[in-house]
Structure 1
Amino acid sequence: MKADAGRMRTALAAPPPDIRLFLLYGPDEAGARDLAAVLAKAMGPDAERVDLAPAMLRAQPGLLADEAASLSLFGGARHIRVAGAGEDVLEAATLLLEADRAGSPAVVLAPTLKATAKLVKLALESPRALVLACYEPSAAEIDRIASELGRAQGLQFERGIARRIAEAAGGDRAVMAREIEKLALYLDAAPDRPRPLDDDALDAVGADLVDADADAFAAAVVAGRVSDAGELLAGLAESGQSAIPWLRALARRLTLIAELRREAGGGGDLSVAFKRFRVHFTQQAEVGAAVARWSPNRIASALDAVRAVERAVIASGSAGDVLALAATLDLARRAAPR
């Protein structure tokens, strides 16, 4: 069954006994994870969470239904999460929805699926599933989300603060939440003792994830300047900030190179393309060299790697930003001129 965001959040906050599968698909993975966290909170702090990898379900399609029907080892609540899913979990989802019984709800996050996917169609047609398409929120919606996160921490945003935090975090809810928590701690804010948040406090805590550094890092990786990329990453690690906005800057850079390659491959004038894509004249020589050096296959492979690392950084229990450091430096080494 199809659900809008409000209905999905309500259902996750109080899972109906007749709903076995919550499918969250589409490119806004941060939004999907935020919704999945609603289910985890609803199940209680002592609930058991069972994480199943898509590869496991591809090899053992019946595992999802088996886990949904199983009881917790300690007799408490339990729920199931499948992250990074695609059509490879179609059979597992089918078996879950057709099973005689299932006591534990399952939430499936499928960021690469489109509305035409077989898994989406299966869930839409089942009365035992709820489906939500998760798309990147607009700028206004991101501002609203940042403001809501702030109010929950007892922060009263002055004009323009929500936009600064949202842009600095690259629109990622998880990053915004962490930065807002830091700000609340700095200002000793809480819901029962609200505090105003202005630009001075934001600057003092360093919540701005400097766009210039992120862009410089992306340029260094794509150009194969390993030493420069390493120095920038070292500064990021020392600051304690998240690598996610930097990974997204790198993804944007790689996408730009792909677009410029298509322009050049189609007989277009690269200098005209530079103007259309607003490539600053100081960067045109380096970007042009990257266009010539990066093949479409290499770009696609690098984008897949960057997105996989971003998912791993967000995922609970991962090695966090260490993964970003290792993976992006590896990309820089491979891109280095021979």
Structure 2
Amino acid sequence: MVKPSGGSVDRLLKSPPPDLRVFVIFGPDSGLVRERAQALSRSIAGDPDDPFNVTRFTDEDIKADAAALADAMAAMSLMGGERLVRVRLSGDSAPVARWISEFEAGEMPAEGRLVVEAGNLTKASKLRKAAEDGKKSAAIACYEDNARDLIAIAEESFKTAGLALAADARHTLAGILEGDRELARSEIEKLILYKGFDGGEITLEDIAAISTESADAALDKVIDAALCGEIQEADLQYRRALESGTSPVAIVRALQRKIDQIERYHQLGGDQGALARSGAPRFGPPAQRFQAAARAWSRARIARAREIAFETERAIKRSGSPAEALAGETLLRLARAASPARAR
């Protein structure tokens, strides 16, 4: 049974023990789940996107082919180096849990290593239980950072960039960073880019400046229109984003992040407090747009939206079809699906 916590998690991510073959990373902080999965994958395979040594699966892949995971884990590397299988799930998965149990019992071979990203698994989850009970598996929980943790991450990043955080700006920045780890890192990176790498102090004025004019504003217009069911507006904003040089892949990934945020908002109760804890906008028109999208995409429907977004990114990478067409069709598909839901 391996359930690392605190500093032992960072050590495991940097140097995973050779006897551990399976890693289930789960919890309510989806940004931290992704960050840790990426760091661990990089430690195992070097390049977490290596098409020869890394195989990826989603919920739908596993459901469509029950033997796919076992086949991928049994395959040997043809190019040398460590084989890695990455599975991204929206929640519990009986097939993946079953494979882990059979592997632990010596009934399944594992030539490579398995990294599973999951949602907020309960103690009764089959997947979590299989990882926690195994001797060759690790269950890594990802819970929300508190304000002190996030400010520490920010100040470490600023120090690396030759910057410092003004004392009177710490409280304001803590409020902005509150919520998902991935969203917090995005805000930190914006501040560093805004200040540059020439040294200096990050002030309240700097924080206000990046909050007022976000680099993600154009992406937000596209994604919000699609998820709110505004078909013509989504098409218009998508064309404008492409004309400004935004890549279709960046738009699809922004769509995935917003979908994750909406799901997390629902998981946290779907109330005013959930806005802050999910990292969603809390005031004014941005908050109203987010809540409108959340009403159109209930907790039951948002999982399907995620599958569509993942399918689109996979199709962009694998097919010869233009990325612009694939991403555009996905946005309009979601906008059409949200339109009648919004009307209700």
TM-score over 0.5 for the pair: yes
- 1:188 corresponds, among 160, 175, 196, to 196
Q: Who is 1:77 aligned against? A: 82
Q: Who is 2:335 aligned against? A: 329
Structure 1's 63 and 8: CA in aligned 2 closer, same or farther, altered over 3 A? Answer: farther
Say yes or no: does 1:304 pair with 2:303. Answer: yes
Report the CA distance between 1:21 and its aligned residue.
Answer: 0.6
* Secondary structure, counterpart of 1:82 in structure 2: strand
Structure 1's 312 and 164: CA in aligned 2 closer, same or farther, altered over 3 A? Answer: farther
Q: Who is 2:102 aligned against? A: 95
Aligned mates of 2:179, 2:301 — CA distance in 1: 22
Structure 1's 251 and 70: CA in aligned 2 closer, same or farther, altered over 3 A? Answer: closer
User: 1:29-62: CA deviations, max 9, x gaps?
Assistant: 2111111122123235456322123444445555
Q: Who is 1:4 aligned against? A: 5
Checking the alignment, whether the CA contact within 8 Å between 2:194 and 2:210 is kept in structure 1 is: no
Unaligned runs of 5+ in 2: 273-281, 318-322
Aligned mates of 1:3, 1:29 — CA distance in 2: 18
Aligned mates of 2:255, 2:6 — CA distance in 1: 28
Q: Who is 1:273 aligned against? A: none
Q: Who is 1:67 aligned against? A: 72
- Of residues 164-173 and 43-52 in structure 1, the stretch that sits farther from structure 2 once superposed is 164-173
Aligned mates of 2:185, 2:271 — CA distance in 1: 33
Structure 1's 253 and 23: CA in aligned 2 closer, same or farther, altered over 3 A? Answer: closer
- 1:144 corresponds, among 141, 146, 152, to 152
* Secondary structure, counterpart of 2:55 in structure 1: strand
Aligned mates of 1:230, 1:165 — CA distance in 2: 35
Report the CA distance between 1:158 and its aligned residue.
Answer: 2.5
Q: Which amino acid in 2 is paired with 1:184?
A: I
Taking structure 1 as the reference length, the TM-score comes to 0.65
Checking the alignment, whether the CA contact within 8 Å between 1:3 and 1:132 is kept in structure 2 is: yes
Aligned mates of 1:162, 1:311 — CA distance in 2: 37
Aligned mates of 1:63, 1:229 — CA distance in 2: 36
- 1:50 corresponds, among 51, 55, 58, to 55
Checking the alignment, whether the CA contact within 8 Å between 2:26 and 2:140 is kept in structure 1 is: yes
Q: Which amino acid in 1 is paired with 2:196?
A: D
Q: Who is 1:37 aligned against? A: 38
In terms of Rg, which structure is larger? 1
Taking structure 2 as the reference length, the TM-score comes to 0.64
Report the CA distance between 1:139 and its aligned residue.
Answer: 3.6
Q: Which amino acid in 2 is paired with 1:304?
A: A
- 1:127 corresponds, among 135, 139, 149, to 135
- CA-based RMSD of the aligned residues comes to 5.0
Aligned mates of 1:62, 1:174 — CA distance in 2: 33
User: 1:157-203: CA deviations, max 9, x gaps?
Assistant: 234656656655773333443444444344332xxx65432344441
* Secondary structure, counterpart of 2:17 in structure 1: coil
Checking the alignment, whether the CA contact within 8 Å between 1:24 and 1:107 is kept in structure 2 is: yes
Report the CA distance between 1:229 and its aligned residue.
Answer: 6.8
Q: Which amino acid in 1 is paired with 2:83?
A: R
Structure 1's 94 and 306: CA in aligned 2 closer, same or farther, altered over 3 A? Answer: same
Aligned mates of 2:313, 2:149 — CA distance in 1: 21
Seq. identity, %: 25
* Secondary structure, counterpart of 1:72 in structure 2: coil
Checking the alignment, whether the CA contact within 8 Å between 2:85 and 2:113 is kept in structure 1 is: yes
Report the CA distance between 1:19 and its aligned residue.
Answer: 0.6
Aligned mates of 1:179, 1:22 — CA distance in 2: 29
Aligned mates of 1:168, 1:231 — CA distance in 2: 30
